[in-house]
């Protein structure tokens, strides 16, 4: 039996936008979290990066298991439960007395945030124009996250640290959690029977997922240390915070451009141009001692990730004709993003920031190769 389509409409889409924004809140806070743990928590970059990776491991696990639970669970109840656990996890993280408690808290925060995004992605992919839906999601979501990031970095972190940040993030996710009222409870009648589900993606779908994964790795490796790059270059918080917040705003602007362009030039050509610009943005950070290059690199990275993601996810939605594997977008992004801070921290510890930037560049190039390998498939035309 084919899988049922998700109910679509303006109200449902608005609800998806709300929960998508909620699910990205800790990701927007991640550079400041890593910076706090290094500067005030006494951790090395590798240790702080591993905490960021624990969040993303939980995030990925929610998506990987989403192939099973998304068609079966009540989505509204999942979102409400996730919001409650995230709030508890944030305060446990703020009051953590040991590294183990921090790891456990951040893992469960990631697990819940990943569950929320899996539902949002499933709704976006069911819309009549998935490329545009994903792009609008990034525009709206990342604009909100940019505001939160700016407020946290400029006013909350310097004065109130991790505890104050936990209060602000908790308030934000509770407010956005009310978007669950607009989200359908699930697939409803006609949902797929358990015996008909295939958990093995076709080759072209797997290649697209790997392309998304390595792109996420490249972005996360640099994003997690964006604040540290600025500090190492000698810039103060008043100069770093606006740049970090602008990364998220630039992501939204990148998706605005993707929304305007659509697929008029084809997904493949547009995607390749975007990924080439991502390499250029990362490369500019080799000269981050100059503030202009630091700003161009961090903001340009945000713009390009916001531009390429809608095309990557839209291609996967087009390739996944039955809509089963789109929930794995969250896993691909989560696994790549989990590896980014951890391996990025190791790179910084062993070879400095240049090693981090080289690894990120290689990852983007690998993503280009993966998408070129399926360039003849209908989803990339």
Domains and CATH numbers, the chain: 10-186+201-376 (1.20.1250.20)
Q: Name which of 21-25, 118-122, 246-250, 290-294 the model is least confident about.
A: 246-250
Is residue 19 predicted with pLDDT exceeding 60? Answer: yes
Structure tokens at 341: 């801070």
Please write the tens of the pLDDT for every residue from 108-152: 999 999 999 989 988 888 887 777 888 888 888 878 887 888 888
> Using CA atoms, how far apart are residues 135 and 147, in angstroms rounded to an integer?
18
Question: Distance between CA 155 and CA 132 in Å, rounded?
Answer: 34
pLDDT band at 189 (very low <50, low <70, confident <90, very high): very low
| pLDDT beyond 80 at 199 | no
For residue 304, give Cα distances in angstroms to 195, 243, 273, 356: 41, 15, 9, 18
Distance CA 221, CA 95 (A): 27
Task: Tell the residue number behind the tokens 């390499």, with chain if given.
Answer: 279
CA angle 121, 144, 154 (to 5 degrees): 135
pLDDT at position 5:
54
Which DSSP symbol is given to 60? H
pLDDT for 197 equals 55
In this prediction, residue 271 has a pLDDT band, given cuts at 50, 70 and 90, of very high
More confident residue, 223 or 88: 88
Q: What is the mean pLDDT of residues 176-181?
A: 92
State residue 303's pLDDT score. 94
pLDDT of res. 23: 92
Choice between 237 and 234, residue whose per-residue pLDDT is larger: 234
Share of the chain above pLDDT 90, in %: 35
| Percent of residues, the chain, with pLDDT higher than 70 | 92
- Exposure on the CB side of residue 118, measured as CA atoms within 13 A: 35
Give the C-alpha separation, 331 to 56, whole Å. Answer: 9
Residue 71, CA distances (Å) to 5, 13, 190, 249, 348 in order: 10, 18, 10, 33, 41
pLDDT at residue number 94? 86
Mean pLDDT of all residues belonging to the chain: 85
379 has pLDDT over 50: yes
- What pTM, to 2 d.p., does this model score? 0.74
Within its chain, how far is the Cα of 260 from the centroid? 22
The residue that leads in pLDDT, 316 or 284, is 284
- Do residues 363 and 218 touch, judged by C-beta distance below 8 A? yes
- pLDDT band at residue 187 using 50, 70 and 90 as cut-offs: low
Q: What is the pLDDT of residue 237?
A: 78
pLDDT confidence tier of residue 378, bands split at 50, 70 and 90: low
- Look-up: residue for tokens 């409400």? 80
| Overall size of the chain counted in residues | 381
Report how far apart, in Å, the C-alpha atoms of 174 and of each of 23, 115, 181 are: 11, 16, 13
Q: What pLDDT, on the 0 to 100 scale, is given for residue 308?
A: 94
Q: For residue range 311-364, what is the model confidence (pLDDT) as tens digits?
A: 998 888 888 776 678 878 878 887 887 788 778 888 888 888 889 999 999 999
Give the per-residue pLDDT at 188: 47
pLDDT of 300 over the 80 cut: yes
């Amino acid at each position: 039996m084919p899988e049922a389509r998700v109910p679509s409409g303006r109200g449902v889409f608005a609800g998806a936008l709300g929960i998508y924004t909620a699910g990205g809140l800790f990701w927007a806070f991640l550079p400041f979290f890593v910076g706090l743990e290094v500067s005030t928590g006494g951790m090395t970059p590798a240790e702080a990066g591993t905490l960021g990776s624990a969040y993303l491991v939980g995030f990925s696990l929610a998506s990987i298991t989403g192939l099973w639970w998304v068609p079966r669970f009540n989505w509204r109840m999942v979102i409400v439960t996730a919001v409650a656990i995230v709030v508890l996890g944030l305060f446990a993280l703020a009051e953590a007395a040991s590294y183990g408690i921090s790891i456990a808290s951040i893992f469960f925060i990631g697990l819940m945030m990943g569950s929320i995004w899996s539902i949002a992605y499933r709704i976006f992919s069911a819309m009549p124009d998935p490329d545009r839906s994903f792009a609008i999601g990034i525009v709206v979501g990342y604009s909100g996250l940019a505001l939160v990031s700016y407020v946290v970095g400029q006013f909350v972190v310097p004065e109130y640290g991790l505890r104050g940040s936990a209060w602000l993030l908790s308030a934000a996710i509770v407010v956005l959690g009310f978007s669950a009222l607009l989200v359908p409870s699930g697939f409803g009648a006609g949902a797929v029977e358990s015996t008909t589900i295939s958990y093995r993606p076709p080759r072209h779908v797997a290649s697209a997922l790997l392309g998304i994964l390595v792109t996420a790795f490249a972005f996360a490796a640099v994003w997690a240390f964006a604040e540290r790059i600025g500090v190492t270059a000698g810039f103060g918080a008043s100069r770093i915070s606006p740049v970090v917040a602008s990364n998220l705003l630039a992501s939204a602007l990148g998706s605005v451009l993707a929304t305007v362009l659509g697929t008029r030039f084809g997904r493949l050509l547009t995607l390749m141009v975007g990924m080439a610009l991502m390499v250029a943005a990362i490369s500019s950070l080799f000269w981050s001692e100059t503030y202009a290059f630091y700003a161009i690199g961090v903001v340009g990275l945000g713009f390009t990730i916001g531009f390429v993601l809608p095309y990557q996810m839209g291609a996967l939605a087009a390739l996944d004709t039955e809509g089963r594997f789109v929930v794995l977008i969250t896993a691909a992004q989560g696994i790549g993003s989990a590896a980014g801070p951890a391996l990025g921290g190791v790179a910084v510890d062993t070879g400095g920031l240049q090693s981090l930037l080289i690894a990120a560049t290689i990852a983007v190039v690998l993503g280009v190769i993966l998408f070129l390998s399926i360039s003849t498939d209908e989803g990339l035309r």
